[in-house]
């Protein structure tokens, strides 16, 4: 499972961020960070298949008027419509580590299993 995401330090000065801030009439940073973190945990590929507008807003812990954050994310360019659902804009480019998390976890699990097996075999060989 992912434990972190990447955030560009220039985000607060980006035109899309400023547009979202105007649309929401509030500071959007926390909502974006929570949303991206939730995506990294629950849908590391970034494809939000089967997610509704309210699912997106729930993922960001949005507490404002329904649909406002969702439409703000779409209008500002932070959320794209893709085959199969939605996707944070350029997720693969901005979050390559998040996308690879399931494969890394599986590889680590297999390596750990192989290492444990090798230690057991070594112990058995020493005992005989």
Write down the pLDDT at residue 119. Answer: 79
Write down the pLDDT at residue 106. Answer: 60
Q: What is the helix (H) or strand (E) element at residue 105, kind and residue range?
A: helix 101-127
CB 86 within 8 A of CB 51: yes
Could you give the 3-state DSSP secondary structure of residue 4? coil
What are residue 88's DSSP bridge partners?
A: 79
Write down the pLDDT at residue 111. Answer: 67
Could you give the 3-state DSSP secondary structure of residue 128? coil
Residue the block writes with tokens 């690879």: 100
Q: Which residues of the chain are modeled with pLDDT < 50?
A: none
Write down the pLDDT at residue 74. Answer: 98
Write down the pLDDT at residue 108. Answer: 57
Q: 37: Cβ–Cβ under 8 A, 6 or more apart, which residues?
A: 5
**pTM (predicted TM-score):** 0.80
Write down the pLDDT at residue 100. Answer: 63
């Amino acid at each position: 499972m992912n434990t972190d995401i990447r955030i560009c330090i220039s985000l607060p000065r980006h035109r899309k961020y400023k547009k979202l801030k105007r649309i929401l009439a509030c500071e959007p940073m926390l909502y974006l960070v929570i949303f991206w973190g939730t995506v990294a945990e629950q849908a590391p590929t970034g494809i939000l298949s089967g997610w509704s507008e309210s699912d997106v807003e729930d993922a960001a812990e949005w507490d404002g008027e329904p649909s406002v954050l969702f439409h703000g994310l779409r209008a500002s360019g932070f959320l794209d419509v893709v085959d199969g659902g939605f996707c944070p804009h350029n997720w693969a480019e901005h979050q390559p580590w998040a996308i690879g998390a399931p494969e890394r976890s599986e590889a680590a699990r297999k390596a750990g299993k192989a290492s444990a097996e090798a230690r057991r075999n070594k112990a058995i060989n020493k005992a005989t």
